[in-house]
Structure 1
């Protein structure tokens, strides 16, 4: 069974061993794994003695997608054996009593203690925990999908792994590996242990307002820009390939375009795609009213950057406010900007030579205000225009924003959006709006519904009419007539 709603994530549902499994946007997950390892399991409750299952797919190696599952059991052997020893060594309060009864010849207690030992030994064998280092790797297979998963053991952890060629991998392989993982869990917890349980395969949704967690997959309407940023991310995630060919990855990126088109969000998404720390440098951190203060500040920022030993993205937002009109004017303010721009050039050169772990991103709404020598190739190798979205792009932005809100807020019994949404019509109605404008229109509708709910009124899901009204109000145009 599948759910192909345009605003809700594509979900495939199947059953195995009495459990229901929802796979959310499986194709997108496999595509995203080409850039970053993707953790696949959302919140799940497992049958005892399974404590948790870590399920992931990683396609960053270039030739294969590697599916991995780690099944962690409760009360590993060492802890259980220590507890049993504790009874006999008087660590457990029950120990002295049992020892005295056994010494007195109490056969009932003796059989009871012996039975506990036999049951523990049987449990070790059932869980596959007996002499873990001596066991040979096992094998689970799905003939229909054509995959085999090796099973290895390390104490209380069972590990499954299978590899599929990158060019051949598909949703069927992901489904098959999930089933093999559930088979392994049922082998540990019992054949009926999964009955009635529900598992969701998909990445945890990020709240759209939390831009720190934004990824390139969440960016709508900027396919060309996203593709170029993915290329940059790949160059950072594969330093061995860069070194093999003597290639220098781009370390300077200038993004320019109208306000509200998502330049800062794209910078955060790029940092997350690389797996880099995000360091935003704001104008007040650099510009100083005292003579020489701005120059000292910019030198200190780059001095720190040369010492970063992990991938780091440095964002100079509103770059033109720091170095605008460099080379123009003869007043004190212009001279100060010229001095900052001159130091920035030299510091940027030194950073590129000394620390390949850092990428510098500058964003501006006014590229013509930035001296061309400052952003020449060699300093800023990549320059990307981030335009206002067109009609199709606006519909895509709405689709991804609405899906994010559904994933973050809808729960059983609570439906946030109605099924009458026409994204194409909303894309037309929002002509001239940026991604920031669309986000604001959604915020206004959400606030209206929340206030109605707070007052105890009957509240219906957000409809096409609600969104059209908010869009027209934001644009200052008459709302549509019913």
Structure 2
């Protein structure tokens, strides 16, 4: 078993290589929403699917992490076409002759046997043989002694579905419990496979919050691992996530984790995306507060709105990241002007200061992030330390950063769309050259350049019926230059 820089635990099981990425983050995320794992992993027949879900639940004994797995096989109560044919044909000479004719593609023999099979299925259902009885359900226990994890195993529906379930008190759960559950699931899978010393030989299973194959992520799903060109910013956010995920360490040393984070920089540099990635890294709910939710044309309305937002925040029972996007538009130029509009803004800013003063003591599960393109428009007293302890500049990426953004975006697109017989990108792309040519572009600009090339290729595909070359260096270069020329 090994741990790498990306907090990956790797081990071998039944000939397969298993990697668990960011087990701590998976467990943290499961506090908020169920996390699905292994959903698209491929296993040898008769295993058709394996689903492993980690979630949180409240029980009379206290909150727990729930590990639940479901394994589906091709054996079931209702016979499929091949099984019905086997029953109808039998082993007699006539059955053998019909089987040979079906194998040779004889349509008449096929219709005869399948017609009889249809009648057999109807009789099968009429007799109630498609409904499992209580005697068909069997329960057992699989255990991992090293982690102290026990999973109840239920075999249902004539063996076509196997379920595993284990619970661990939330305060006691560790990444070792997740690793143990993965082992138990693989043990249950191998027991369903034909006897072999290494039934999963040559296979690789990646246990991560990102489904396999990796899909194109939106800012709703983005993780810090997928952020390119902002290594220093990502490193700072990872440190914040660690402090948030380990309150026991903070308490032991009397340390106070950051309560507020201000991210500022030019438009399109990814401040909102980074906020969502931080929420995912922590395993927190994400709540975005926009200007219309606060500012109200009626006297006193804006003040009531901001108070209600913080009142709700104090009541959140799960980790939550509260994002005030375009912060300056909500409380800009605090203290400036004497007209009614300025007074209303000043009132909102004043209440915001008061609410931030004791938020972390009232609910340490909440962290506030504010983003702005114009930091000079925000009053210094509003974002002083104690309210916003961390201030992060999010700059435009440099040449190396832009090349890294191209690399990650292209890799995500290829993983999501390429399949046997279809190659999306040419193999000789010069990412360094693309980084040099895209001088001054942001991550949002690079995403737009790729979108334009994708659209052009899709339109060409629609016109020619698929006779389209992969996206080339020339295609990307032209798109970058075209986008820069429009500025």
1:447 to 445, 455, 462: 455
1:330 counterpart residue number = 338
Alignment map for 1:82-101 (pairs within 5 Å): 94=127
SS of the equivalent of 1:413 reads coil
Cα distance, 1:55 vs. partner? Answer: 6.5
With 239-248 and 463-472 compared, the bigger mean Cα shift is at 239-248
1:262 aligns with 2:270: yes
1:217 aligns with 2:225: yes
SS of the equivalent of 2:464 reads coil
2:470 to 454, 461, 465: 461
2:260 counterpart residue number = 252
Separation in 2, partners of 1:183, 1:155:
14
1:201 aligns with 2:206: yes
Point out where structure 2 has 5 or more consecutive residues left out of the alignment: 1-9, 28-34, 55-66, 76-124, 130-134, 156-162, 167-174
1:31-71 superposed Cα distances (whole Å, 9 cap, x missing partner)? x34544597635135456756545799xxxxxxxxxx9967
Cα distance, 1:351 vs. partner? Answer: 2.3
Separation in 2, partners of 1:267, 1:195:
39
Cα distance, 1:444 vs. partner? Answer: 0.5
Which TM-score applies when normalising by structure 1? 0.68
Separation in 2, partners of 1:308, 1:149:
32
2:484 to 455, 468, 475: 475
1:68-106 superposed Cα distances (whole Å, 9 cap, x missing partner)? 996747699xxxxxxxxxxxxxxx97599xxxxxxxxxx
Separation in 2, partners of 1:183, 1:302:
48
Separation in 1, partners of 2:143, 2:344:
68
1:232-287 superposed Cα distances (whole Å, 9 cap, x missing partner)? 11222222222333332212110001110000000011111111111111111111
SS of the equivalent of 2:405 reads helix
SS of the equivalent of 1:211 reads coil
Separation in 1, partners of 2:271, 2:353:
22
2:96 counterpart residue number = none
1:189 to 184, 187, 193: 193
1:359 counterpart residue number = 367
Contact 2:226 2:408 in 1 (8 A): yes
Contact 1:216 1:269 in 2 (8 A): yes
CA distance 1:93–1:474, shift in 2 (3 Å): closer
Cα distance, 1:302 vs. partner? Answer: 1.3
Contact 1:261 1:388 in 2 (8 A): yes
Separation in 2, partners of 1:44, 1:214:
21
1:44 aligns with 2:41: yes
2:294 to 286, 293, 313: 286
Q: How many residues align?
A: 386
CA distance 1:406–1:297, shift in 2 (3 Å): same
With 415-424 and 183-192 compared, the bigger mean Cα shift is at 183-192
Contact 1:318 1:365 in 2 (8 A): yes
Contact 1:252 1:359 in 2 (8 A): yes
2:322 counterpart residue number = 314
2:121 counterpart residue number = none
Contact 1:207 1:408 in 2 (8 A): yes
Separation in 2, partners of 1:239, 1:256:
27
1:230 counterpart residue number = 238
SS of the equivalent of 1:132 reads strand
Point out where structure 1 has 5 or more consecutive residues left out of the alignment: 1-11, 58-67, 77-91, 97-120, 140-146, 161-168
CA distance 1:295–1:464, shift in 2 (3 Å): same
Contact 2:39 2:50 in 1 (8 A): no
Separation in 1, partners of 2:309, 2:143:
52
